């Protein structure tokens, strides 16, 4: 004599509500504990390594100022004027720096234009 009826042989449905609660709690946890990078900075790889001192002429200094003009040999140049002037001078490598008021877009535009023209630009990120 059986006192308890046997269970039916059908699969039990998975309850998804507790699963959603756990995922939501994990999402909130990671959102609160993650440190976000500021959006006004761009991390770029700097491939300038310590080099041996060599005798020779120093690399020309190019400084990007506000508005996108580039200062070279104490003269301001626009980007379309600068590239032919550098090629005419036989320069294929230069040091690149920025003024504190220059925009990141101007730096990126200048760096890309120099790279496309076959001029290797070395830059040093200065921390304030």
For residue 23, what pLDDT is reported?
94
Residues of the chain falling short of pLDDT 50: none
The residue ranges of every structural domain in the chain are 61-123
Cα gap 111→105, rounded to integer Å: 10
Q: Which residues make beta-bridge pairs with 102?
A: none
Confidence (pLDDT) at 24:
94
In residues, how long is the chain? 128
CA distance 90 to 119: 10
Distances 4 to 8, 9, 10, 11, 81 between C-alpha atoms, Å: 12, 15, 17, 19, 93
Q: Alpha-carbon distance 95 to 113, whole Å?
A: 14
Q: 46 near 53, Cβ under 8 Å?
A: no
Compute the distance between CA of residue 104 and CA of residue 81 in angstroms, rounded to an integer. Answer: 20
Which burial class, exposed, middle or buried, applies to 65 when counting CB atoms under 10 A from its CB (0-12, 13-18, 19+)?
A: middle
Q: In this structure, which CATH number among 2.40.160, 3.40.50, 1.10.760, 3.30.420 belongs to the domain 61-123?
A: 3.30.420
């Amino acid at each position: 004599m059986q006192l308890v009826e046997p269970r039916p042989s059908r699969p039990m449905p998975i309850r998804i509500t507790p699963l959603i609660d756990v995922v939501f709690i994990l999402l909130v946890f990671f959102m609160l504990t993650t440190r976000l990078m500021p959006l006004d900075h761009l991390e770029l790889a700097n491939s300038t390594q310590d080099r041996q001192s060599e005798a020779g002429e120093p690399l020309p200094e190019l400084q990007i100022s506000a508005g996108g003009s580039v200062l070279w040999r104490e003269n301001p140049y626009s980007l379309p004027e600068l590239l032919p002037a550098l090629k005419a001078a036989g320069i294929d490598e230069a040091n690149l720096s920025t003024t504190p008021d220059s925009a990141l877009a101007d730096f990126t535009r200048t760096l890309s234009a120099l790279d496309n023209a076959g001029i290797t630009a070395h830059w040093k990120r200065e921390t304030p």
